[in-house]
Amino acid sequence: MVRSRLLSRSLVVAACLGLSISAASAQDVIRFGAPLPLTGPLAPEAIKQQQGYDLWAEQANKAGGIAVGGKKYKVEIVYADYQSNTPRAVQTTEQMITQNNVNFLFSPFGSGAAKAASSVSEKYKIPTIAATASSSQVYDQGYKYLFGTFTPNDTLTTPLTKIVTAKAPDVKKVAILARNDLFPLAIAQEMEKSAKAAGLEVAYFEKYAIGTLDHSATLSQIKSLAPQWIFVTGYINDLLLVRKQMADQQIKAPVVSMIAGPAYQEFIDAAGASAENVTSAAWWHPAAQYDGKDIFGTSANYVKLFRDKYKSTPDYAQASASVAGALFQMAIEKAGSLDKDKVRDALAKLDVVTFFGPVKFGPNGQIDSLEPPVFQIQNAKPVVLSPQVIKQGDFKLGVN
Amino acid sequence: MLAAQILINALVLGCLYACIAIGFSLVWGVLNVINLMHGSFIVLGAYLAWGLYRSLHIAPWYALLLAAPLFFAIGYLIQRVILNRVITAPVLVTLTLTFGLDLILNNAMIYYLKADYQKLSLVPPMGSVSLFGVVVPVDRLVATVAALGLTFVLYLILRRLRVGRAIVAVRLDRDAAVLMGVDVNVTYAVAFGLGAALAGCAGVLMALIFPISPLTSTAYLGKAFVVCVLGGLGSVSGALAGGILLALIEGVGSAMIGPAHATTLSFALLIVFLIVRPQGLLGRKGFE
């Protein structure tokens, strides 16, 4: 009896100690919530984002953590899988705030889910950085706590159009095929505007449903119009499928552009020879040469750290996730506080060069300081065509 | 020329749709079981082809020889061990059961094989053939011929073999079939095994053309549903007719009103058929 009472008392004491230890450690940690589509059709993209966040967290913790008022806080990232289901992304975001008690948030993947979840983070006034949302509709909601590291979609299509019209004056007719989804459709609409502004004829503009497996009828129609420029948007799996079915139907064009897939090494590996001369644009490229003030320093150092950890070359999605973390770190340190409003104000005032490029958020929270690179797959490698400072080669015509 | 191309695309794709649907139609029409695992069986077949090509460089047409007996065995066992217990229950019970089993199967695939898409890329690629400006990819042609072959084999089994006639007999009158000495449980298991084998083989053929992911199972199941309703249950030729009709609607619809609405159009037609002609184009009355 005495023994059991002793045992129960010591258990209570141990439990209290445990609580106080965990409470103490909770104080030394800054929790970042990252709802991601870790399963489902968007899983490949989610894994990239996770890699980017993890690399940043590892570097930040290696350096002792984030310094706030003379004290160092470790970084902890809380992940949750919303299974590529946007309504679930919203639910997960709310759960992270109310149950996981995260201090700050990274948005779910892509413009659609980021926009949907932003209403929740705004409601709870949680500073949030969207690492993969570019559509201006995400930022035009008048929200104060949302920031994004991707420039608007037209910053991709306009430089691409300028290169094509300058180097290929015979290109007059464009066909645009877009995945019926917020980001791919928005970028296709920007492409239509850029093409029309450059005096090109948009002979075909159609959307395909999410999950479409067979594009043969659509591609036959495009082929019959004989456009000199075929522009397709979607995610990597859509674009691989379309590119393969284009090759199946022997569709050739002087210019073929695809967003967003060719920036990923997986696209080049899977498409093989049919990836050759496909043009694209993205928000960052490993060839970038910025000397940043963030935890990663130079772009080259970021590429090295990424390669050491993951044995592969980072692309824009991974880099954007890493820079989102690094920006939070800088803003928290600048604010000298974990107070959400102070960190929000520090983010809004940031004007800094990072390994990702110059970062300054516009009045709506979307970055407005970057010049995204345009590139082309040449000899199974992405070659940067613009901007001039990181140019690696010249534009080539002809996609077979 | 565009019309000819769309027509050829639809014919080729229609045969593949028929191949996706025929096992589903057999199980639904004969056993009166709506097998919601059908899409996952197709995806598993595709993974089998992908795995064999990737690790042992075995071409998909040889993979068919393994897929057929393997999936037959899986289907046979599922029917004998699980489904047979509720086979005489109302259709909603078997529907719920296969739904639950599919959830387990599909989530297991997502867990072990990941949600990422895989692609079986033949080296060297098979290329395309061109005739009078109409282009057909060779891999689709090969898959179409194989799909037609499978359909013909099923037709022969049902018409010429004793077990096939037993399957039809059990569907038409279970009690009379018992009196004639037919082992109903074995016959049901054979029919379900045949359905699974056809799904596995269809998956092998789909791997040649489409990317592979557990998530595509719903798309395959959706196609199978529409084809069965359009073509009619319990009819081999009905599945073929339904497949071609669906591919034609999708192809022509895509050209006329845009690819984003092709699926909506096919489902709208499905509703029309359910109201106007529930037995489908070539289905038999009483099988709907």
Shared domain for A267 and A296, answered yes or no, is no
Of A211, A217, A241, the CB nearest to B254: A217
Contact in structure between A121 and A97 (CB atoms under 8 Å): yes
Report whether pLDDT(B285) > 80. no
Shared domain for A258 and A385, answered yes or no, is yes
DSSP class of residue A261 equals S
Give tens-digit pLDDT for A168-202: 999 999 999 999 988 889 899 999 999 999 999 99
Residue A54 pLDDT: 98
Of the candidates B287, B117, B68, which has an alpha carbon nearest to the alpha carbon of residue B215?
A: B117
Most confident of A110-114, A197-201, B153-157, B251-255: A197-201
Domain at B1-276, CATH from 1.10.3470, 1.10.3210, 3.10.170, 1.10.1060: 1.10.3470
Report whether pLDDT(B219) > 60. yes
Contact B254 A250 (CB under 8 A): no
Contact in structure between A104 and A32 (CB atoms under 8 Å): yes
Report whether pLDDT(B209) > 80. yes
Distance, in Å, from the CA atom of B1 to the CA atom of B132, rounded to the nearest integer, reads 9
Q: How many CB atoms are located within 10 Å of the residue A363 CB?
A: 8
Q: How large is the C-alpha radius of gyration of chain A?
A: 23
Structure-token pair, residue B142? 């090969």
Residue A136 pLDDT: 87
Shared domain for A331 and A383, answered yes or no, is no
Q: pTM for the whole thing?
A: 0.80
Of B9, B211, B259, the CB nearest to A240: B211
Distance, in Å, from the CA atom of B5 to the CA atom of A225, rounded to the nearest integer, reads 13
Residue A9 pLDDT: 47
Contact B263 A221 (CB under 8 A): no
pLDDT band at B284 (very low <50, low <70, confident <90, very high): low
Which of A176, A181, A216 should we substitute to test contact with B (largest number of B Cβ atoms within 10 Å)? A216
Shared domain for A262 and A294, answered yes or no, is no
Give tens-digit pLDDT for B96-143: 999 999 999 988 998 888 777 788 888 888 888 888 888 888 989 999
Shared domain for A158 and A234, answered yes or no, is yes
Contact B137 A206 (CB under 8 A): no
Shared domain for A305 and A204, answered yes or no, is no
Residue B181 pLDDT: 87
Report whether pLDDT(B8) > 80. yes
Using omega within 30 degrees of 0 as the cis cutoff, is the peptide bond preceding B124 cis?
yes
Of the candidates B182, B2, B221, which has an alpha carbon nearest to the alpha carbon of residue B103?
A: B221
Shared domain for A315 and A380, answered yes or no, is no
Contacts of B113 in chain A (CB under 8 A): none
Contact in structure between A392 and A287 (CB atoms under 8 Å): yes
Structure-token pair, residue B50? 């992908």
DSSP class of residue B28 equals I
Backbone angles phi, psi at A312, to 5 degrees: -150, 165
Which residues of chain A register pLDDT less than 50? 1-26
Of the candidates B89, B90, B87, B29, which has an alpha carbon nearest to the alpha carbon of residue B285?
A: B29
Of the candidates A107, A105, A104, A129, which has an alpha carbon nearest to the alpha carbon of residue A117?
A: A107
Q: Which amino acid is at A26?
A: A
Parse chain B into domains and list their residue ranges: 1-276
Which of A42, A220, A222, A400 should we substitute to test contact with B (largest number of B Cβ atoms within 10 Å)? A220
Of the candidates A122, A107, A115, A127, which has an alpha carbon nearest to the alpha carbon of residue A53?
A: A107
Question: What CATH number is given to the structural domain containing A62?
Answer: 3.40.50.2300
In a domain, A3, yes or no: no
DSSP class of residue B30 equals I
DSSP class of residue A351 equals E
Asked if A269 reaches chain B (Cβ–Cβ under 8 Å), the answer is: no
Residue A66 pLDDT: 96
Distance, in Å, from the CA atom of A314 to the CA atom of A288, rounded to the nearest integer, reads 12
Tell me: ipTM over 0.85. Answer: no
A178 burial (CB, 10 Å; 0-12 / 13-18 / 19+) is: buried
| Residue A323 belongs to domain spanning | 29-151+287-360
Contact in structure between B247 and B11 (CB atoms under 8 Å): yes
Residue A367 pLDDT: 95
Shared domain for A267 and A382, answered yes or no, is yes
Q: Which residue has the higher pLDDT, A322 or B176?
A: A322
Q: Any idea which residue has 């954007």 for tokens?
A: A320
Helix locations, B114-216, DSSP H? 138-160, 162-172, 174-179, 184-207
Domain total of chain A:
2
Report whether pLDDT(B170) > 80. yes
Minimal C-alpha gap between B188 and chain A (Å): 33
Backbone angles phi, psi at B260, to 5 degrees: -65, -25
Residue B288 pLDDT: 40
Residue A23 pLDDT: 42
Give tens-digit pLDDT for B260-274: 888 888 888 888 888
Residue A295 pLDDT: 96
Structure-token pair, residue B236? 């081999």
Of A217, A221, A250, the CB nearest to B128: A250
Residue A2 pLDDT: 41
Contact in structure between A317 and A132 (CB atoms under 8 Å): yes
Shared domain for A71 and A106, answered yes or no, is yes
Distance, in Å, from the CA atom of B62 to the CA atom of A142, rounded to the nearest integer, reads 59
